[in-house]
């Protein structure tokens, strides 16, 4: 006898429907799995057999063949267990087959017949809603997460026996309550509110650069001696960024769900992500990868901040992996059988010492490094990568008198309001097509960064003096546009260009 159920496989962040076919025929008792399953799926033979028996149902003592179609798509993970179990029960006439095409089944089964939570449910729920499935059936622990998708009935169960009972009489069960979030305010957690920008003493230029970075989504590099406040400043950037919209929060939650990092199932991730990988991180851990590609740090930082502390300690070839995502806002991972695209629209914030000893240019402690040592130190960073960092800021240690006085600056709330107003001006200008100035393309620059004769002459001088490339010039215009937005100006002025040019002084900072 033959029967089929439906499940889904994750390909990047998208879910692809998988038809689970089961055939029970005469022969020696055995269970065969085909359709490019991985080791975890192959092991489901024993899990499913024990789960069906311990649920009070009968596993057929015949030859059972299970096929996962399409056959040319590799499948991984234990999420197919429930669909396999229900297909076997239907093929052995213990379930009504006509009911099964209406539902999409997900879940790992335990030996005692209970259901365990799985990763990537949110992406599968989005796909199920788009493909028109009547309902999604899955472990109760995943029901709240799946209910974030509007317009989809979700049924969560604790055991295989409960699912079998539901498939016999689905009309007698009520779906999980839909989580109404689209109209609700997405508010960050209290964790971000504890990192107040008012705690940062002095550092007016660095604070100004942080505000510009938040307002325009510009990449930022802090250079200064140890203890000058570089990390302290970077960790306060998410707090001054605008609150995530519902669509952005759903994007971020889908990525973390696919990576298996969703801590609170059923709750949107409302905080801007802040990822800070160690300098020993490998290239695949940053951009993602694996036999079945999974999101890396840059995708986990999507719509948030990727902080690279001690930038010069990262391997040069690892940092060069960032060049294409910084430009395109996504990363493409290619494998023999498939290519997967992950979103990676993040703000890069990095910190570095000015030299190996860390005290070049410091007014309190002399530097022990020679020019050749400094040049070798900075040669670890490629020119194309530095070209993509819009704001390059020197952060000096405060003098003892300023440290002793403990004078606090503006709070995070005040700066966030200015950033939100600047972002609102940009979004009104772009009419929702772009989210911030850093995403502007060449046509946008020509239209929204038009220069007068005096500002054109100033830009020519800046290009000549700083020996800027075409990319660097475009990034100066983007920064100037953000500075103008913070000032409430529709036209780029000379002071906006001049301030933007001040943040391209890496050669002056490190004397390369």
71-88 pLDDT, tens digit each: 988 899 999 999 999 999
Over residues 39-54, the mean pLDDT reads 95
pLDDT tens-digit map of 254-283: 999 998 888 666 678 888 999 999 999 999
pLDDT band for position 184 (cuts 50, 70, 90): very low
From the CB of residue 327, how many other CB atoms can be counted at a distance below 10 Å?
A: 11
**Alpha helices per DSSP H over 18-120:** 39-42, 44-54, 81-91
Q: Which CATH number fits domain 190-434: 3.40.50.300, 3.40.50.150, 3.40.50.1450, 3.30.465.10?
A: 3.40.50.300
Closest listed residue to residue 97, CA positions, set 6, 25, 158: 6
Bridge partners, residue 223, by sequence: 352, 394
Secondary structure of 261-287 as H, E, C letters? CCCCCCCCCCCCCEECCCCCCCHHHHH
The residue assigned the tokens 């490094």 is 369
Q: How far apart are CA 419 and CA 384, in angstroms?
A: 28
Same fold, 2-172 and 190-434: no
Q: How far is CA 371 from CA 42, 397, 400, 506, in A?
A: 60, 22, 29, 15
Question: Average pLDDT for residues 145-150, to the nearest whole number?
Answer: 90
DSSP codes of every residue in 385-435 = HHHT--EEEE-PPPPHHHHHHT-B---HHHHHHHHHHHHHHHHHHHTTS-S
Q: How far apart are CA 149 and CA 251, in angstroms?
A: 12
Name the band, by pLDDT with cuts 50, 70 and 90, for residue 185.
Answer: very low
- Burial (CB count within 10 angstroms: exposed 0-12, middle 13-18, buried 19+), residue 398: middle
Q: What percent of the chain has pLDDT over 90?
A: 68
Determine the pLDDT at residue 109. 97
Query: Helix-strand-coil percent breakdown of the chain, rounded to 5?
Result: 45, 20, 40
Residue 198, helix vs strand vs coil: helix
pLDDT of 118 higher than 70: yes
* Bridging pattern class, strands 220-223 and 347-352: parallel
Question: Mean pLDDT lowest for which of 172-186, 239-253, 317-331?
Answer: 172-186
Contact 1, 92 (CB under 8 A): yes
Tell me how far apart the alpha carbons of residues 18 and 128 are, in angstroms, rounded to a whole number.
11
**Integer Cα distance of 21 and 19 in angstroms:** 6
- Give me the pLDDT at residue 186, please: 55
Instruction: Give the CATH fold of the 2-172 domain.
Output: Ribosomal Protein S5; domain 2 (3.30.230)
Across the chain, mean pLDDT equals 90
Measuring CA to CA, how many Å separate 100 from each of 4, 57, 97, 136? 7, 18, 6, 11
CB count in 10 Å sphere of residue 154: 24
Checking DSSP bridges between strand 115-116 and strand 108-109, what pairing results, if any? antiparallel
pLDDT at 509 over 60: no
Q: Both tokens of residue 107?
A: 């879940």
The phi, psi pair for 432, rounded to 5°, reads 80, -5
| Rounded Cα gap, residues 496 and 485, in angstroms | 10
The residues spanned by each domain of the chain are 2-172, 190-434
pTM of the shown model: 0.89
- Mean pLDDT in residue range 168-184: 76
Q: Return the bridge partners of 305, or none.
A: 274, 347
Comparing CA positions, the residue from 92, 85, 31, 87 lying closest to residue 60 is: 92
User: HSE (CB half, 13 Å, CA atoms) of 404?
Assistant: 3
């Amino acid at each position: 006898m033959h029967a089929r159920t439906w499940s889904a496989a994750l390909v990047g962040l998208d879910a692809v429907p998988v038809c689970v076919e089961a055939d029970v025929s005469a022969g020696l008792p055995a269970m065969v799995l085909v359709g490019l399953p991985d080791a975890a799926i192959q092991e489901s033979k024993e899990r499913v057999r024990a789960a069906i028996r311990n649920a009070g149902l009968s596993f057929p003592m015949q030859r059972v063949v299970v096929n996962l179609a399409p056959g040319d798509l590799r499948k991984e993970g234990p999420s197919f267990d429930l669909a396999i179990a229900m297909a076997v029960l239907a093929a052995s006439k213990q379930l009504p087959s006509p009911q099964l095409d209406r539902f999409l089944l997900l879940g790992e089964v335990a030996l005692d017949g209970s259901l365990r939570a799985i990763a990537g449910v949110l992406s599968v729920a989005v796909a199920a809603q788009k493909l028109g499935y009547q309902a999604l059936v899955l472990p109760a622990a995943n029901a709240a997460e799946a209910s974030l998708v509007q317009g989809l009935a979700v049924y969560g169960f604790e055991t295989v026996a409960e699912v079998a009972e539901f498939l016999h009489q689905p009309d007698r069960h009520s779906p999980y309550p839909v989580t109404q979030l689209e109209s609700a305010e997405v508010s960050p957690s209290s964790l971000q509110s504890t990192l107040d920008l008012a705690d940062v003493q002095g550092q007016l230029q660095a604070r100004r650069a942080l505000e510009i970075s938040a307002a325009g989504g510009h990449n930022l590099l802090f250079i200064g001696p140890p203890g000058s406040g570089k990390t302290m400043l970077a960790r306060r950037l998410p707090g001054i960024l605008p609150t995530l919209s519902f669509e952005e929060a759903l994007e971020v939650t889908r990525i973390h769900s696919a990576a298996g990092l969703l801590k609170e199932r059923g709750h949107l991730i409302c905080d801007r992500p802040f990822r800070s990988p160690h300098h020993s991180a490998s290239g695949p851990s940053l951009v993602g990868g694996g036999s079945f590609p999974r999101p890396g740090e840059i995708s986990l930082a999507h719509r948030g901040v990727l902080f690279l502390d001690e930038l010069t300690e990262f391997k040069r070839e690892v940092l060069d992996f960032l060049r294409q995502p910084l430009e395109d806002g996504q990363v493409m991972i290619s494998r023999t059988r498939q290519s997967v695209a992950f979103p990676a629209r993040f703000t890069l914030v990095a910190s570095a010492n000015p030299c190996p000893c860390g005290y070049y240019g410091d007014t309190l402690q002399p530097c022990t490094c020679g020019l050749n040592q400094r040049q070798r130190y900075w040669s670890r960073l490629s020119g194309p990568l530095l070209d993509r960092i819009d704001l390059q800021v020197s952060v000096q240690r405060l003098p003892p008198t300023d440290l002793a006085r403990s004078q606090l600056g503006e709070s995070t709330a005040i700066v966030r309001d200015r950033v939100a107003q600047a972002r609102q001006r940009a979004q009104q200008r772009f009419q929702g097509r772009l989210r911030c100035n850093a995403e502007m393309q060449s046509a946008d620059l020509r239209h929204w960064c038009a220069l007068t004769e005096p500002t054109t002459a100033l830009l020519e001088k800046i290009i000549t003096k700083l020996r800027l490339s075409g990319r660097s010039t475009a990034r100066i215009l983007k920064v100037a546009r953000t500075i103008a937005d913070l000032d409430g100006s529709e036209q780029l002025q000379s002071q906006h260009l001049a301030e933007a040019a001040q943040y391209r002084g890496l050669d002056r900072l490190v004397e390369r």
